[in-house]
Structure 1
Amino acid sequence: MIKHLFKLIWNKKKQNFLLITEIFISFLVIFGVFTSLVYYYRNYKKPMGLTYNNVWVINFQNNKQFHNTDSVTQYYATLTAMLKNMPQIKTLSYASSNIPFTSSTSTTRLIYKGQEIRPINFYRVGDNYREAFNMNLLEGRWFNHDDVVSSNRPVVINASLKESLFGNGRALGQLIDDSHDDKHVRKIKVIGVVQDVKDKGDYLPSGMAMYNRVDTSDMRYIGKLVIKVSPDADAAFESKLYKAVAGYMKEASVEIEHFSKKRESTNRSTLIPIIIFSIVAAFLIINVSLGIFGVLWYNINRRRGEIGLRRAVGASGGSVSGQLISESLILTTFSLIIGVFFAIQFPLLNVFNMAASTYVMAMFLAVAFIYLLVFLCSLYPGRQAAAIYPAVALHEE
């Protein structure tokens, strides 16, 4: 039976070539959609790594001219003391521009045992930054005031960077080269490890990260102040806070944002491309489905004599329907063999730097989807073929 089906398909290879091509292109598109969906879903299932509710950020662009470092320190110390006197503010921390749920990114590299590790997300944060976001400390400690006199620059790394650098080994106390050339070799010391933080939204990975303590020299360029507020902080308090900060920083433009809203905005921006891609893929699937349905319907009309003869010699309606469905699935198999050959190049070549398991899962889902699609499209034409009466079909011939 299988040999007979292959013979029938080969005899109509020119007619079947277009159908094979349609299914092949559909598989590649569906593979792309499922790859994105699997990738986003796996990232979504991972813990966020921070608490964003009741956390705000004060954005400011300070144009004030400072004469020396002491004046910078005193200026921001006064602002900090003023904000700490507000009972609704539980903790606060200055930070670089790449705070969570923003498009701002800063990366660096590290050299460890002769190997370069990159890209690493690079953050400058204050002593209370972890407390503000309730970040989970896995090992060691966070920054404190004693780190000012440390001989080696202290850093806190996340779990992903620890795995890349040390594997299952010990990270605390390790010294790492932080040099960009061979003439100026600097050392940094790992004092803590935190859980990975998905600071680009629910659907994107955290990546490797390194946190550095904000020092006096950084304050000239800092433009973010992260604050954790009490649950009863309302719009009236936000207005009061804005007036206080804007009144103190007369030379600066001030804006207050909520991280809960920033997260929603970031997630929308992430999902928009995949939604558009999915809509395009849906239209393609509809066209392919109509194409498969039309080709099968056309084949039935052309093969009414063949079908009628088979019925006349005793073939059941189920066997006739099964033959047409089997032919469609064999054509689909040819298309999928070619499609899987191209799809498997993605994990082999590490395209888009995704885990190989993501591509493999997407391939299985795409193959299953295409088989199901072709089966459903061929089911009704197959039933129509099974309903052909032998006498009527032979009479028409």
Structure 2
Amino acid sequence: MFKHLFKLIWNKKKQNFLLMAEMLVSFLVLFAVFTLMVYYYSNYKKPMGIEYQNVWVINYGNAYQTKNIDSLNLYYETLRKTIKSLPQVQEISFVSGNIPFSQQVNESALTFNGKHVNHLNNFTVEDGYKEVLQAQLLEGRWFNKQDAVAKNKSVVIDAALKEATFGNEPAAGKLLGNDNDKDRLKVVGVIQTIKRNGDYVNPGPGLYFRTDTGSFRWLSKILIRVAPGTDATFEGKLYKTMANYMKNSNVEIEHLTNKLKDSNYFALVPMIILGIVSAFLVINVALGLFGVLWYNINKRRGEIGLRRAIGATGNSVSSQLVSESMILATLSLIIGVFFAVQFPLLNVFDLSAGIYIGGMLLSVLFVYLLVLICSLYPGKQAAAIYPAVALHEE
């Protein structure tokens, strides 16, 4: 049976080659789309790591310039107490600019025990940062005042950095850095990785530093947790409080919930573009496949009529046409999978092999389903051809 089908396909190799090329291109585009979808879904399933609801961001320009550290700290400590005295404010923390769901980044690299960690996100935060965002502590503790006089600089790492450096071993209390590094960092705690780039993007490893006496020179953001149900009236009051205290500064208040929506929209743009392109391509392939099969039926009416005349049933004729289409799809997919499997082997885009495999399987199933749907109706039409009518036309 298969030998006969391959012979029929080979006899029309020029026509079938174009059809296979369409299926191959469709598979490659679908592979990109489904791989991106699997990547987004795998990131979406991971916990956010924070409670971002009711968290506001105050952006301000650092207008107070002085060389005296004590005066600088006093200025911002007074601002902290002023904001925290407001009844709707539950917690406050000055932070570096790369807050969750912002486009600002501060990256570096790290080598530990021969392991290289690239795209390491560095954050400068205060002791109240964990309470403001309600970050989930997995191991050890958060920063406290004792860290200001510690021999080694205290840091908190997230679960992603712990896995990249210490693996399954406990990290709290250990030193991070090379053995010959005099400025090694002491890990005091591990928190759940925060999806700082939104729901759909891998945040990468994170390293948290505690603010020091000179940090207020360059910090320009404040995170505050407000009471649930706090409305725009309080937002206006908070703005006036900031504007009156920092008269020469540009003040802006944002909500993390809105910033998360913007981050998600920005992340979904490539998915939307690929989806539109693949939808047009799939429609064209489906129409082309349907048209080719319909054309083949009209060209092969004599062959089909002869097969029916010598005893072939309508179902067997229909199955033959469907099988030919599925074999063409299989030949195209073998070539497509060969190219697709190079992505996990070469570790392209630094994605896990499971994401590529998931995208590959979904693409294969979709192409088979598309070919099956497009070939069923022409196959049914072929099965309805009466042998006497077909032979009479010949």
Of the structure 1 ranges 369-378 and 224-233, higher mean CA displacement relative to structure 2 is found in: 224-233
Q: 1:75 to 1:178 in 2, by over 3 A?
A: farther
Q: 1:114 to 1:375 in 2, by over 3 A?
A: closer
- The 3-state SS of whatever aligns with 2:368 is helix
Give the conservation status (yes or no) of the 8 Å contact 2:64–2:72.
no
Return the TM-score normalized by structure 1. 0.97
- Return the alpha-carbon distance in structure 2 between the equivalents of residues 242 and 382 of structure 1: 70
> Quick one: which amino acid aligns to residue 265 of structure 2?
R
Matched with 1:142 is 142
Percent identical residues: 57
Instruction: Give the counterpart of 1:307 among 304, 321, 327.
Output: 304
Report the CA distance between 1:219 and its aligned residue.
1.0
- Return the alpha-carbon distance in structure 1 between the equivalents of residues 100 and 29 of structure 2: 32
- Return the alpha-carbon distance in structure 2 between the equivalents of residues 320 and 111 of structure 1: 65
For residues 126-165 of structure 1, give each alpha carbon's deviation from its aligned partner in whole angstroms, at most 9, with x where no partner exists: 1100100111001111111221111110000011111111
Matched with 1:200 is 197
- Return the alpha-carbon distance in structure 1 between the equivalents of residues 298 and 116 of structure 2: 66
> Quick one: which amino acid aligns to residue 115 of structure 1?
K
Matched with 1:342 is 339
- Return the alpha-carbon distance in structure 1 between the equivalents of residues 393 and 297 of structure 2: 14
For residues 230-287 of structure 1, give each alpha carbon's deviation from its aligned partner in whole angstroms, at most 9, with x where no partner exists: 1142111110000001110112100000111111111111112201210111111000
- Return the alpha-carbon distance in structure 2 between the equivalents of residues 211 and 100 of structure 1: 13
Q: 1:114 to 1:304 in 2, by over 3 A?
A: closer
- Return the alpha-carbon distance in structure 2 between the equivalents of residues 124 and 305 of structure 1: 79
Matched with 2:63 is 63
Matched with 2:26 is 26
Matched with 2:381 is 384
Matched with 2:370 is 373
Report the CA distance between 1:48 and its aligned residue.
0.6
Of the structure 1 ranges 325-334 and 224-233, higher mean CA displacement relative to structure 2 is found in: 224-233
Coordinate RMSD, CA, aligned: 1.3
Matched with 1:223 is 220
- Return the alpha-carbon distance in structure 2 between the equivalents of residues 185 and 298 of structure 1: 77
- The 3-state SS of whatever aligns with 2:20 is helix
Return the TM-score normalized by structure 2. 0.98
Give the conservation status (yes or no) of the 8 Å contact 1:110–1:178.
no
Of the structure 1 ranges 281-290 and 201-210, higher mean CA displacement relative to structure 2 is found in: 201-210
Give the conservation status (yes or no) of the 8 Å contact 2:23–2:332.
yes
Corresponding pairs, count: 394
Matched with 1:110 is 110
Instruction: Give the counterpart of 1:358 among 355, 359, 383.
Output: 355
Give the conservation status (yes or no) of the 8 Å contact 2:113–2:178.
no
- Return the alpha-carbon distance in structure 2 between the equivalents of residues 60 and 215 of structure 1: 19
Instruction: Give the counterpart of 2:240 among 235, 239, 243.
Output: 243
For residues 328-353 of structure 1, give each alpha carbon's deviation from its aligned partner in whole angstroms, at most 9, with x where no partner exists: 00000000000000000010011111
Matched with 1:7 is 7
Report the CA distance between 1:169 and its aligned residue.
1.3
- The 3-state SS of whatever aligns with 1:135 is coil
- Return the alpha-carbon distance in structure 2 between the equivalents of residues 195 and 163 of structure 1: 11
Q: Unaligned regions of 5+ residues in structure 1, if any?
A: none
Of the structure 1 ranges 103-112 and 188-197, higher mean CA displacement relative to structure 2 is found in: 103-112
Q: Output aligned runs, 1:115-264, within 5 Å.
A: 115-177=115-177, 185-264=182-261
- Return the alpha-carbon distance in structure 1 between the equivalents of residues 279 and 116 of structure 2: 43
> Quick one: which amino acid aligns to residue 239 of structure 1?
G
- Return the alpha-carbon distance in structure 2 between the equivalents of residues 376 and 349 of structure 1: 35
Matched with 1:317 is 314
Give the conservation status (yes or no) of the 8 Å contact 1:106–1:121.
yes
> Quick one: which amino acid aligns to residue 319 of structure 2?
G
Report the CA distance between 1:206 and its aligned residue.
2.5
Report the CA distance between 1:218 and its aligned residue.
1.6
Report the CA distance between 1:177 and its aligned residue.
2.4
Matched with 1:78 is 78
Give the conservation status (yes or no) of the 8 Å contact 1:92–1:225.
yes
> Quick one: which amino acid aligns to residue 5 of structure 1?
L
- Return the alpha-carbon distance in structure 1 between the equivalents of residues 134 and 363 of structure 2: 40
Of the structure 1 ranges 135-144 and 63-72, higher mean CA displacement relative to structure 2 is found in: 63-72
- Return the alpha-carbon distance in structure 2 between the equivalents of residues 307 and 65 of structure 1: 89
Report the CA distance between 1:178 and its aligned residue.
7.6
Give the conservation status (yes or no) of the 8 Å contact 1:178–1:188.
no
> Quick one: which amino acid aligns to residue 28 of structure 1?
L
> Quick one: which amino acid aligns to residue 177 of structure 2?
D
Instruction: Give the counterpart of 1:283 among 277, 280, 284.
Output: 280
Give the conservation status (yes or no) of the 8 Å contact 2:109–2:119.
yes
Report the CA distance between 1:217 and its aligned residue.
1.5
- Return the alpha-carbon distance in structure 2 between the equivalents of residues 351 and 37 of structure 1: 16
- Return the alpha-carbon distance in structure 1 between the equivalents of residues 66 and 178 of structure 2: 30
Report the CA distance between 1:66 and its aligned residue.
1.0
- Return the alpha-carbon distance in structure 2 between the equivalents of residues 176 and 207 of structure 1: 18
- Return the alpha-carbon distance in structure 2 between the equivalents of residues 392 and 202 of structure 1: 62
Give the conservation status (yes or no) of the 8 Å contact 2:304–2:317.
yes
Report the CA distance between 1:122 and its aligned residue.
0.6
> Quick one: which amino acid aligns to residue 254 of structure 1?
V
